[in-house]
Amino acid sequence: MTDSTDTALPDSADHSTAVENYAKAIFTLQASGSAVRTTDLAERLEVRPASVSTMLTRLEASGLVAREPYHGVRLTDDGERVALAVIRRHRLLELFLAEALELPWDVVHIEAERLEHHVSPRVEAAIAAHLGNPTHDPHGDPIPTAALELAVDSGGVSLAEVPDGASAELLQVSDRDPAMLRYLADRGILPGAALTVVAREPFGGPIRITTGGAEHQLGEPLARAMTVRIG
């Protein structure tokens, strides 16, 4: 099926869900800086390493990935475009589900995981326009532009690294743990919130912060999952 209005994103329509999920997983693992191995992908995608090898052979034949001995797998420019297109749809959907449909912050990620493979360029453009062409998703992650450019937010550090007494703005919270998101949302701690680190309890105890006039105690793993800008 072709549609003459789909010319804006010529290569997004015919990739399977699996191809898009592999591209997205490789992109995310690459972003953390280390070589992407078959075992990393198997773990992230929750499939057997043998399945990953089969799929990587397919992706290599399609020109989406390149494999180098001892350096693992990396996306080609075409592969990166597949990843950025699906990341754009994912993050737009998260914001649409949160803002237009008022679904809670902690469920929009899992719903967007399903829908991201089934949105046509026309619907994607309509969602972006409806939301006023947003730059960030509800978790604070940047949304790639329609031209598939991804802004890099600079100056972010983990809340765990903010010194006592310093103030910071919450930029981003990892979207992978719904319980964490629910915990923060229940306390009104959302991207954009102004936080002040009061003190740390000794012996690996929680970090005490204030925001919106209330004090909260956040454990170390939670503080590590929160990216802030000091100042």
Q: What are the residues binding Zn ion (CB under 5 A)?
A: 109, 175
Nearer to Zn ion, 20 or 175 (CB): 175
Nearer to Zn ion, 162 or 180 (CB): 180
Nearer to Zn ion, 72 or 138 (CB): 138
Amino acid at site 215: E
Provide the minimum distance between the beta carbon of 145 and Zn ion in the complex, in angstroms, as a whole number. 18
Task: Report d(CA 197, CA 149) in Å as an integer.
Answer: 34
Provide the minimum distance between the beta carbon of 175 and Zn ion in the complex, in angstroms, as a whole number. 4
Provide the minimum distance between the beta carbon of 111 and Zn ion in the complex, in angstroms, as a whole number. 9
Closest listed residue to residue 190, CA positions, set 203, 202, 181 = 181
C-alpha atoms less than 13 angstroms from C-alpha of 80 in its C-beta half-sphere: 12
Whether 174 and 139 have beta carbons less than 8 Å apart is answered as yes
Whether 90 and 116 have beta carbons less than 8 Å apart is answered as yes
Nearer to Zn ion, 53 or 135 (CB): 135
Task: Report d(CA 187, CA 133) in Å as an integer.
Answer: 28
Nearer to Zn ion, 88 or 109 (CB): 109
Provide the minimum distance between the beta carbon of 102 and Zn ion in the complex, in angstroms, as a whole number. 17
Provide the minimum distance between the beta carbon of 112 and Zn ion in the complex, in angstroms, as a whole number. 6
DSSP state of 104: -
Whether 123 and 92 have beta carbons less than 8 Å apart is answered as no
